[in-house]
């Protein structure tokens, strides 16, 4: 899977990912002599380090350089949003760096290639799949379907009407097809198309195209892909029982 961002510091490197979920300060966050983290387990040495953004003292730039001198430098740096401290450290240490990347999609242990000259990263062990997820609203409640326990993805979870975008289809065409196949509800054009977002399950990242259909009534007849259905008000949803991304969709209403 390729994720395109912005080139910050030139060069190319590959390595195992190590991540940190919050803003990170090299000063205090890592031992400049050994590369070992002070704020989590593991080491930065030879790894592709991914974190949202830098923070703290400008001395952090020289911690990166010290890591380079000591032979414990990261293979590459990847941010959601680069700032001066980390950028300076990457440039003076000749460490490839890219930003404008959704680092939340990367997991520790992923094999990551970073091209700091062209501004992209590649997750070599991750595949990318386009899917749709359709919100069908009737009288303030929306339709949820329960996935079987042996489902290939998100087994036993509640979802909207979802499915893979087939070759040659637009996401809107997929949405109409999946709604008919799974519920026998006939729909036309969606009332709303929501922003695309991404979620990850295992080694798959799903690009989720979401649509909203507001209907006066709907007679649901399930096929074998789901085990049951229910109509739910947004306030009644238990996110822990749902596939990833339901909360994002509901916030758009």
Comparing C-alpha atoms, which of 106, 103, 102, 74 is closest to residue 90?
Answer: 74
Which residue is catalytic, options 9, 25, 57, 93?
Answer: 57
57 is catalytic: yes
Q: Are strands 48-51 and 76-79 parallel, antiparallel or unpaired?
A: parallel
Q: How far is CA 179 from CA 15, 135, 161, in A?
A: 42, 10, 6
Exposure class string for 111-134: b at 16+ Cβ within 10 A, else e: ebbbbbeebbbebeebeeeebbbb
SS3 25: coil
Question: CA 189, CA 173: separation in Å to the nearest integer?
Answer: 9
Chain-centroid distance of CA 198 in Å reads: 5
Q: Give the CA angle between residues 223, 224, 229 to the nearest 5°.
A: 65
Look at the block and give the residue holding tokens 């939340």.
104
Question: CA 197, CA 208: separation in Å to the nearest integer?
Answer: 5
Catalytic residue positions, numbered: 57
């Amino acid at each position: 899977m390729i994720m395109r961002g912005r080139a910050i510091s030139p060069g190319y490197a590959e390595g195992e990912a190590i991540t940190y979920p919050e803003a990170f300060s090299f000063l205090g966050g890592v031992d400049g002599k050994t590369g070992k983290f002070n704020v989590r387990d593991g080491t930065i040495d030879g790894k592709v380090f991914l974190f949202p953004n830098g923070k703290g003292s400008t001395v952090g730039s020289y911690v990166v350089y010290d890591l380079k001198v000591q032979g414990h430098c990261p293979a590459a740096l990847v941010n959601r949003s680069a700032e001066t401290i980390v950028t300076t450290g990457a440039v003076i240490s000749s460490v490839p760096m890219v930003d404008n990347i959704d680092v939340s999609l990367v997991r520790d242990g992923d094999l990551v290639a970073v091209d700091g000259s062209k501004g992209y990263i590649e997750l070599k062990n991750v595949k990318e799949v386009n899917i749709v997820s359709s919100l069908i609203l009737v009288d303030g409640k929306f339709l949820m379907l329960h996935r079987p326990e042996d489902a290939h993805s998100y087994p036993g979870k509640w979802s909207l009407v979802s499915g893979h975008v087939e070759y040659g289809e637009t996401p809107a065409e997929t949405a109409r097809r999946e709604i008919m196949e799974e519920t026998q509800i006939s729909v036309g054009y969606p009332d709303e198309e929501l922003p695309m977002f991404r979620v990850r399950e295992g080694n798959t990242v799903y690009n989720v195209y979401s649509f909203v259909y507001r209907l006066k009534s709907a007679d649901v007849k399930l096929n074998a892909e789901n085990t049951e259905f229910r109509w739910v008000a947004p306030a009644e949803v238990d996110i822990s029982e749902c596939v990833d991304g339901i909360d994002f969709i509901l916030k758009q209403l």
